Amino acid sequence: MPNRTAVHSELYSPDSADNPSLNGGRCRSCGYVFFPPQRYGCESCGAPPEKLEAVQLGGRGTLHSYATVHLHMGRDIEAPFTIGLIVLDDGPAISSTLANRTDEGLAIGDRMKSVLVTASTDQAGNEMVELRFAKAEGSK
Ligand SMILES: [Zn+2]
């Protein structure tokens, strides 16, 4: 079993390939839940950073919008790929690359879930995993 390493380890654990939870934050003053985690203070009520605490957010939500990128000059990802805005059941919205490269079969309102995909393997055989969102079973 190769080691798995999260490309963005501050955002999710590499250990649960299927439907990982996300590392978010919550304000103890007003209850505002946010993602990604930050240490600047509450965006909602202005409470100082010491009022913020880490929370695990479930990796499930609803597809709010999406767009397929057909031409991309960067080398980090190969076009086409599709970016979705997913409103998590726990509140925050997350903009994420989707597991499907194109928007075929997608519809606004689809149920989505987090998945980890192997983005690359380093020379030592360690898998580098990245977060994606995929259509959840049971969607129409
Ligand atoms: Zn707050």
- d(CA 56, ligand 1 centre) in Å: 17
Q: Where are the domains of the chain?
A: 1-21+58-140, 22-56
- d(CA 85, ligand 1 centre) in Å: 23
Fold of the CATH domain 1-21+58-140: OB fold (Dihydrolipoamide Acetyltransferase, E2P) (2.40.50)
- d(CA 33, ligand 1 centre) in Å: 9
Secondary structure, 3-state, 84-109: EEEEECCCCEEEEEECCCCCCCCCCC
d(CA 89, CA 22): 12
- pTM of the complete model: 0.87
15 vs 140: which has the higher pLDDT: 15
d(CA 137, CA 10): 27
pLDDT grade, residue 1 (50/70/90)? low
User: How many Å from the N-terminal Cα to the C-terminal Cα in the chain?
Assistant: 35
Query: For 22-56, CATH number?
Result: 2.20.28.10
With CA atoms as reference, report the closest residue to 117 among 92, 134, 138. 134
Say how far residue 127 (Cα) sits from the centre of its chain.
18
d(CA 49, CA 46): 9
15 vs 130: which has the higher pLDDT: 130
